[in-house]
């Protein structure tokens, strides 16, 4: 009797990421910024030296620091002052957001969605995760924003390696109640969570981001100590997909369980409050980060 051996999704994801190492790479300056921010020995002058070599990034940072998104008083024209006021993590987030915006271009996921729709969704999830953290008075709003921004980067790998399969994946997701990840595993042997975790590891993103990319649809499979940030993104992803913000197929049928949220101290009343405020929240942010 022949025994069918299914491919290991983690191994398939690692091989897929290796194939795109020369394509979906972060710009060198963004990599330098991430490394600098993660280095406890770095200071503002180090970061300023890197940022000042990219006029477009300087312009973007000044645009953000003077927007309502961070709520800082007055007009700030100095990049040095912006770095001090925003903090290292916010500068890193702006750089990563700008770089991802360049990568999410030019291809279609299916008949109804482009890579730009995926980018809109990632911005929306980042903004929503940040708002959830702020409403819970957690000291990780910037971390939540970055985690939300990168949660679906595994789909970047799919768009490079499995582009021919994506229309079928999307069509099945639209016409069945199957979870998007299950459809991916059936059709390509892995899913965007596995590929996202592998890509974040290659990009040397923090471990917290790797966990978000790898488990944002299934946070309860993680140890309770690792669930908080992943759960915030899980909730933000669910809210944004249900609201049709950009590419919404990955979590359109995802349901939020109050008991699971309570484990990390998140109440459904707060979730519903953020859901109600979502249109205003996102309209204010989209003009800045798109």
Q: Specify if 184 maps to a domain.
A: yes
Q: Specify if 252 maps to a domain.
A: yes
CA distance 151 to 153: 6
Average pLDDT over residues 218-235: 95
Count of the separate structural domains present in the chain:
1
Q: Specify if 152 maps to a domain.
A: yes
* Residue 261 near residue 242 (C-beta atoms within 8 A): no
Taking Cα atoms as reference points, which of 98, 71, 99 lies closest to residue 85?
71
CA dist list (Å): 11 to 41, 176, 200:
35, 27, 15
What confidence tens digit (pLDDT) does each residue in 89-99 have?
888 888 888 88
What percent of the chain clears pLDDT 90, i.e. is strictly above it?
46
CA dist list (Å): 255 to 7, 133, 163, 241, 252:
29, 20, 28, 11, 9
Q: What is the mean pLDDT of the chain?
A: 87
What is the residue-wise DSSP string for 81-99?
Answer: HHHHHH-HHHHHHHHHHHH
Q: Specify if 257 maps to a domain.
A: yes
Q: What per-residue confidence (pLDDT) applies to 228?
A: 97
Q: What per-residue confidence (pLDDT) applies to 21?
A: 56
What percent of the chain clears pLDDT 70, i.e. is strictly above it?
94
* Residue 180 near residue 173 (C-beta atoms within 8 A): yes
Q: What per-residue confidence (pLDDT) applies to 25?
A: 64
CA distance 120 to 118: 5
The boundaries of the domain holding residue 177 are 9-26+105-289
Q: Specify if 70 maps to a domain.
A: no
Average pLDDT over residues 61-65: 85
What confidence tens digit (pLDDT) does each residue in 122-144 have?
999 999 999 999 999 999 998 99
Tokens 């699971």 sit on residue = 260
CA distance 207 to 213: 10
Taking Cα atoms as reference points, which of 243, 233, 284, 254 lies closest to residue 129?
233
Q: Specify if 48 maps to a domain.
A: no
Tokens at 6, concatenated: 């299914």
Q: Specify if 19 maps to a domain.
A: yes
CATH number, domain with residue 214: 1.10.3210.10
Place 3 in a pLDDT band, splitting at 50, 70 and 90.
very low
The predicted model scores a pTM of 0.87
User: Cβ of 28: how many Cβ atoms within 10 Å?
Assistant: 11
Q: What per-residue confidence (pLDDT) applies to 204?
A: 82
Q: Specify if 55 maps to a domain.
A: no
Tokens at 69, concatenated: 């998104």
Of 216 and 58, the one with more pLDDT: 216
């Amino acid at each position: 009797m022949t025994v069918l051996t299914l491919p290991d999704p983690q191994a398939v994801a690692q091989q897929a990421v290796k194939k795109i190492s020369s394509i979906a790479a972060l710009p060198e300056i963004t990599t330098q910024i991430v490394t600098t921010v993660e280095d406890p020995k770095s200071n503002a002058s180090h970061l300023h030296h890197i940022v000042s070599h990219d006029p477009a990034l300087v312009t973007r940072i000044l645009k953000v620091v003077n927007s309502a998104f961070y709520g800082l008083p007055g007009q700030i024209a100095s990049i040095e002052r912006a770095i001090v006021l925003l903090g290292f993590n916010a500068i890193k987030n702006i750089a990563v957001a700008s770089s991802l915006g360049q990568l999410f271009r030019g291809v279609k996921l299916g008949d109804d969605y482009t890579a730009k729709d995926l980018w809109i969704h990632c911005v929306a999830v980042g903004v929503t995760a940040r708002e959830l953290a702020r409403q819970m008075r957690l000291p990780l709003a910037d971390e939540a924003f970055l985690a939300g921004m990168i949660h679906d980067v595994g789909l970047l790998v799919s768009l490079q390696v499995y582009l021919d399969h994506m229309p079928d994946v999307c069509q099945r997701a639209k016409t069945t109640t199957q979870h998007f990840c299950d459809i991916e595993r059936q059709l390509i042997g892995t899913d965007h969570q596995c590929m996202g975790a592998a890509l974040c590891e290659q990009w040397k993103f923090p471990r917290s981001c790797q966990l978000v990319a790898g488990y944002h649809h299934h946070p309860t499979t993680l140890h309770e100590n690792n669930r908080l940030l992943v759960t915030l993104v899980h909730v933000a992803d669910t809210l944004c997909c249900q609201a049709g913000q950009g590419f919404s197929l990955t979590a359109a049928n995802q349901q939020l369980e109050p008991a699971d949220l309570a484990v990390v101290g998140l109440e459904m009343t707060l979730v519903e409050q953020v859901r109600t405020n979502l249109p205003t929240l996102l309209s204010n942010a989209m003009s800045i980060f798109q």
